[in-house]
A and B are shown apart, each in its own frame.
Chain A
Amino acid sequence: MATQSSKPAETILVVDDEPEVLSMAADMLRMIGYNVLSAGGSLEAIRIAHSRSGPLHLLLTDIVMPVMTGRDLAEEVRTIRPNIKVLFMSAYSPAAIEKYRVRLGPGEPFLAKPFTIADLVGAVQRAFSPA
């Protein structure tokens, strides 16, 4: 976990259009030891990706959101931050997500809501580990 390392904690950009979920996910990640930036939607997330001067290590984003999907957001953010890791989360099952024209690749990190702290830690670690 980030708190157990001597190097500076990784910074995670969390995006969810559900304010309560966004707040809880951010609190859990901070408690684990990560630096956290929150965005209530895709456009705000893109603005942060542009304006943030420090590094962004991970994008943790909801998949089904207004304006654009989490997949589209990830592609936009990667044009700004090419090295950023991505972890998708959703209250829909992976099969149901396909209804929104988003298909998860084999082994692509996915965090199913609702999640426990252990689920979150595991998913974030998988997202950080080399593919």
Chain B
Amino acid sequence: MPRVQPSLQRYRELVEQSRGLICIHDLAGVLLSVNRAAADRLGYAPEDLVGRSLADVLAPAVRHLFPQYLDRIQRGATDEGLMLVVTHDGDERIWTYSNVRGREAGGADYVLGHAHDITDIKRSDARAGEAEALRSVGRLALATAHEINNPLTVIMASLQLMVTRGQVPEEAAPYVQRAIKSAEQIRDTVRNMSRITRLELSRQAPQLPAVLDLTKSSSPQA
């Protein structure tokens, strides 16, 4: 069959040159073949990985789940999900995999693994989630500032009008002055909180101002 050899060569090149992460392992999890893209992503040469267990490149935190994966792939024809791998340099990466069990012409079963590295997408999603959470804090601060400032206007104005009109008995004057001072402290704190609204209005500011530490925010420069 002279046409078979070129066809196999094309398949081999397809796998080797694919940017997808491809491997073949036996039913015990021992790697039989790893394409260049997968080996590069892990920081190894393909030949460094052949003969080793796939479990060796799993992150220690999830390595105990490997027997369960082998059990699933042996019982069923396919398995898919997320795997946390660790590179030669110790970086942890998230791969989504879709593996299929096959059988060689000679009778031995093997597993063809195909994966994509989604670490950057996952991290971007996490950053987007954090940014959204911070925007929610900003919206809360904005609404809270408004709801406090209106009644605080009434409190401060009432106290000042009483003092200005001479309606405060002498023995009560120190208490009224303390109340005015405390109201002004609330005003200053709320104005510091309103700085958070700038975060809410900016879709690119992932960091909270120091005002969230309300002890620090009491400084008059804020």
Contacts and interface: CB of A to CB of B under 8 A. Distances in A.
A91 B154 contact: no
A31 B161 contact: yes
A95 B201 contact: yes
Interface stretch (A1-9, A68-76, A111-119): A111-119
A126 B220 CA distance: 25
B197 A114 contact: no
Interface in B158-199: 158, 160-161, 164-165, 183, 187, 191, 194, 197-198
A24 B150 CA distance: 11
Chain B contact patch, size range: 20 to 34
A99 interface: yes
B151 interface: yes
Interface residues of A, number: 22
User: Does more than half of chain A's interface fall in helix, strand or loop, or is it mixed?
Assistant: helix
A113 B190 CA distance: 11
Contacts, number: 77
Contacts of B154: 20-21, 24
Contacts of B145: 91-93, 96
A106 to B, nearest CB: 18
Interface string A63-97: 01000000000000000000000000001110110
A27 interface: yes
A45 to B, nearest CB: 18
B57 interface: no
B219 interface: no
Interface string B136-148: 0000001001111
Interface in B103-161: 142, 145-158, 160-161
Instruction: With a 10 A CB-CB cut-off, give which of B154, B155, B157, B183 has the most chain A CB atoms.
Output: B157
A93 B197 contact: yes
Nearest to B180: A116
Q: What 6 A-B pairs come out closest when comparing CB atoms?
A: A91-B149, A24-B157, A114-B153, A93-B194, A114-B152, A96-B197
